């Protein structure tokens, strides 16, 4: 009996409020409004920054080994070595047993001793040497014949090197160069050491960088260049132009890069960046919205409407970590709505 009274009482507690509400609705002309909850607006000022599009990469290098200078036929002890960075025509390179050995670039090296009465193409080259060093005034009519007069000039030439009282040309007094001046990268001769064996390398020129190819450090992240934007390769303090289509350095860039890396290195690291940084305005990525056509815009505070916002079309220059760079369309002093989708009824770009 008590249970039945409890059920009746509960039903009455429910029915009375519902009935009252129903009666109020039946005798009211007002419609029930839908509940609409909007977030508080978040307004920010853009931040000015520079976009460099900096990308780290490897540069794969291809070299040609440097030219070499070889020892002529000689013997003795090295008594002096020139410290000049280049071997120049007619200048001493080193001395053996106190006799200077000079540099000479010619079609062929000397290979035999020459004395009065000798004939041959090498006699003609000897006359050219004597003319270049000032020991004769002109080439003789028969340049391939070594006359008595030429032997006297040879005697003077030898004396200038420290070899006295000899009218015989010694090929060991001349170091043949493949070209002149010859830049010296390494010198393989030391004072106090025996004269290098004939034919051995006594000096090496700098290696020549033939090509430099830019490659991404991570194959999964290839090099990305903005079309129409000039970029430069940065190595140390050097900024070098490169072919953006082939990702290679031109000739003038190769010489500059070669001076910055170890000779014959297979690769080196570097970075590329925009030649001129792009000035952008950074805003929260949530401030950028789009429409169905892919047009992008941001909503900014409308100065003519105290409670309103207006859309501005924008172009972007990348984004990272929740921040988007706006290249055009937005002013540095314009306040941007950071959460348009949570504040505006119609927030899609018009």
pLDDT tens-place string over residues 31-53: 434 334 578 999 999 999 999 99
Please give the pLDDT value at position 46: 96
Question: Is residue 248 predicted with pLDDT exceeding 50?
Answer: yes
- Could you give the CA distance from residue 51 to residue 316 in angstroms, rounded to a whole number? 11
CA 11 to chain centroid, in Å, comes to 85
For the domain bounded by 43-51+278-343, which CATH number is listed?
2.40.420.20
Which tens digit of pLDDT belongs to each residue from 254-296? Answer: 999 999 999 999 999 999 999 999 999 999 999 999 999 999 9
Each domain of the chain, given as residue ranges in start order, spans 43-51+278-343, 55-65+208-274, 69-204
Find, among 113, 106, 82, the residue nearest to 95 by Cα: 82
Q: What are phi and psi of 62, to 5 degrees?
A: -125, 130
| Whether the domain at 43-51+278-343 and the domain at 69-204 fall into the same CATH topology | no
Q: Write down the architecture of domain 69-204 according to CATH.
A: Orthogonal Bundle (1.10)
- Could you give the CA distance from residue 274 to residue 190 in angstroms, rounded to a whole number? 49
Please give the pLDDT value at position 7: 36
Question: Is residue 28 predicted with pLDDT exceeding 50?
Answer: no
Question: Is residue 89 predicted with pLDDT exceeding 90?
Answer: yes
The model scores a pTM over 0.75:
no
Mean pLDDT of 4-26: 38
Please give the pLDDT value at position 36: 44
Give yes or no for a contact between 65 and 185, defined as CB atoms under 8 angstroms apart. Answer: no
Please give the pLDDT value at position 39: 86
Q: Where are any strands of DSSP class E within 18-131?
A: 43-44, 47-51, 55-64, 68-70, 78-81, 86-87, 92-96, 99-105
Mean pLDDT of 72-87: 96
| pLDDT grade for 318, boundaries at 50, 70 and 90 | confident
- Could you give the CA distance from residue 21 to residue 172 in angstroms, rounded to a whole number? 124
How far is the CA of 111 from the CAs of 72, 180, 196, 232, 294, in angstroms? 8, 20, 17, 51, 80
Q: Residue 340: CB partners within 8 Å, gap ≥ 6?
A: 286, 287, 289, 298, 299, 309, 347
Mean pLDDT comparison of 9-13, 60-64, 226-230, highest-scoring range: 60-64
Please give the pLDDT value at position 324: 95
What percentage of the chain reaches a pLDDT higher than 90? 83
Find, among 121, 96, 85, the residue nearest to 106 by Cα: 121
Please give the pLDDT value at position 117: 98
Please give the pLDDT value at position 320: 87
Please give the pLDDT value at position 304: 82
Question: Is residue 66 predicted with pLDDT exceeding 60?
Answer: yes
Please give the pLDDT value at position 307: 67
- Could you give the CA distance from residue 145 to residue 133 in angstroms, rounded to a whole number? 19
């Amino acid at each position: 009996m008590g249970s039945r009274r409890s059920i009746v009482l509960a039903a009455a507690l429910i029915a009375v409020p519902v009935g009252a509400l129903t009666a109020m609705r039946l005798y009211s002309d007002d419609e029930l409004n839908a509940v609409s909850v909007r977030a508080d607006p978040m307004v920010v000022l853009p931040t000015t920054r520079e976009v460099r599009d900096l990308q780290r990469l490897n540069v794969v290098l291809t070299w040609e080994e440097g030219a070499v200078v070889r020892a002529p036929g000689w013997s003795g002890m090295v008594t002096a070595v020139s410290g000049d960075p280049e071997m120049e025509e007619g200048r001493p390179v080193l001395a053996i047993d106190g006799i200077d050995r000079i540099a000479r670039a010619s079609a062929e090296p000397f290979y035999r001793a020459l004395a009065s009465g000798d004939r041959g193409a090498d006699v003609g080259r000897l006359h050219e040497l004597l003319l270049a060093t000032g020991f004769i005034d002109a080439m003789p009519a028969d340049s391939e014949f070594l006359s008595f007069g030429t032997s006297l000039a040879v005697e003077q030439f030898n004396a200038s090197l420290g070899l006295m009282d000899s009218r015989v040309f010694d090929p060991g007094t001349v170091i043949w160069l493949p070209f002149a001046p010859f830049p010296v990268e390494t010198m393989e001769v030391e004072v106090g050491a025996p004269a290098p064996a004939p034919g051995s390398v006594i000096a090496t020129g700098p290696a020549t960088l033939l090509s430099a190819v830019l490659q991404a450090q991570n194959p999964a992240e290839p090099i990305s260049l903005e079309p129409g934007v000039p970029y430069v390769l940065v190595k140390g303090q050097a900024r070098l132009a490169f072919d953006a289509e082939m990702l290679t350095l031109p000739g003038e860039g190769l010489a500059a890069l070669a001076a910055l890396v170890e000779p014959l290195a297979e690769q080196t690291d570097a970075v590329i960046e925009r030649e001129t940084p792009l000035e952008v305005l950074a805003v929260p990525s949530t401030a950028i919205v789009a429409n169905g056509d892919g047009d992008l815009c941001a909503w900014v505070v409308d100065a003519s409407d105290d409670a309103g916002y207006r859309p501005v079309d924008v172009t972007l220059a990348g984004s990272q970590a929740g921040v988007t760079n706006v290249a055009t369309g937005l002013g540095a002093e314009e306040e941007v709505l950071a959460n348009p989708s949570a504040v505006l009824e119609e927030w899609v770009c018009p």
